[in-house]
Amino acid sequence: MAGNFSKSETDDYSLTRVPREKRSQMWKILLIRIGSLTCISQLMLGAALGFGLSFWKAFWATIIGSVILQFVSFGLGVAGEKEGLSTSVLSRWTGFGRYGSAIVGGAFAISLTGWFGIQNSIFAQGIIAILGKNLSFPLIACITGVAVTLIVLFGFRMMSWTANIAVPGFLILIAWATYSMLKSHSFTHLVTMNAPGALTMSAAITMVTGGFIVGCIITPDITRFAKSTKDVFWITVIGTLLGELGIGLLGVLMAHAIGSSSIMAIVYQLTGVLGVLLVIFSTLKLNDINLYSSSLGIANFIEAVFHVDVSRGLITIILGALGTILSMIGVINQFTSFLSLLGVVFPPIAGIMFIDYFVLRRYRNELDESRKHAALPARMENFHPVTVIAWAAGVLSGYFITFGIPSITSILISIIVYYAGMKIYAAVKVHNDVEQIHE
Tell me the C-alpha distance between 30 and 424, whole Å: 41
Q: What is the residue type of 249?
A: L
Is 297 inside a domain boundary? yes
> Which region among 150-154, 176-180, 219-223 has the lowest average model confidence (pLDDT)?
150-154
Burial 277-312 (b: 16+ CB within 10 A, else e): bbbbbbbbbbbbbbbbbbbbbbbbbbbbeeeebbbb
Once rounded to an integer, what is the mean pLDDT over residues 20-45?
A: 81
Q: How far is CA 389 from CA 172, 348, 356, 411, in A?
A: 47, 11, 15, 13
**Residue 383 placed within a domain:** no
Q: Check: CB of residue 31 under 8 Å from CB of residue 225.
A: no
Say what the pLDDT of residue 7 is: 43
Q: According to the per-residue pLDDT averaged within each range, which of 13-17, 83-87, 327-331 is highest?
A: 83-87
Are the beta carbons of 295 and 322 closer than 8 angstroms? Answer: no
| C-beta neighbour count of 143 within 10 angstroms | 13
- pLDDT (tens digit per residue) in 352-374: 999 999 999 999 999 999 999 98
Give the pLDDT of residue 285: 63
Cβ 20 vs Cβ 224: under 8 Å:
no
The answer to whether residue 3 is domain-embedded is no
Does the pLDDT of residue 3 top 70, yes or no?
A: no
Q: Out of 16-30, 76-90, 169-183, 349-363, pick the least confident.
A: 169-183
Q: Which of 50-64, 194-208, 217-231, 277-291 has the lowest mean pLDDT?
A: 277-291
Nearest-CA neighbor of 103 among 298, 296, 294? 298
30 in any annotated domain: yes
**289, 116 contact by CB (below 8 A):** no
Q: Let me know: does 367 contact 146? Beta carbons within 8 Å.
A: no
Quote the pLDDT of residue 365.
93
Q: What is the mean pLDDT of the chain?
A: 83
What pLDDT is recorded for position 352? 95
| Rounded Cα gap, residues 295 and 221, in angstroms | 11
Terminal CA-to-CA distance of the chain, rounded, Å? 51
Number of domains composing the chain: 1
Whether pLDDT at 6 is above 50:
no
Q: Is 64's pLDDT higher than 80?
A: yes
Answer yes or no: is 25 within a domain. yes
Give the other-Cβ count within 10 Å of 19's Cβ: 10
Q: 240 versus 276: which is more confidently predicted?
A: 240
In a domain, 267, yes or no: yes
Give 112-163 pLDDT, tens digit per residue: 787 788 778 877 877 787 777 688 889 988 998 888 888 777 765 666 666 6
Q: Which of 38, 25, 2 is nearest to 160 (CA)?
A: 25
Which amino acid is it at 124? A
Compute φ and ψ for 44, nearest 5 degrees: -65, -40
- Give the CB-side neighbour count of residue 367, counting CA atoms within 13 A: 21
Of 303, 312, 319, 315, give the one whose Cα is nearest residue 9. 312
> Phi-psi bin for 3: left (phi > 0), alpha (psi -120 to 50), beta?
left
CATH number at residue 39: 1.10.4160.10
Question: Under 8 Å CB-to-CB from 395, ≥6 apart: which residues?
Answer: 344, 345, 348, 410
Alpha-carbon radius of gyration of the chain: 22
Could you tell me if residue 416 is inside a domain? no
Residue 15 inside a domain? The answer is no
For residues 222-239, average pLDDT = 93
Domain membership of residue 296 as a residue range: 21-346
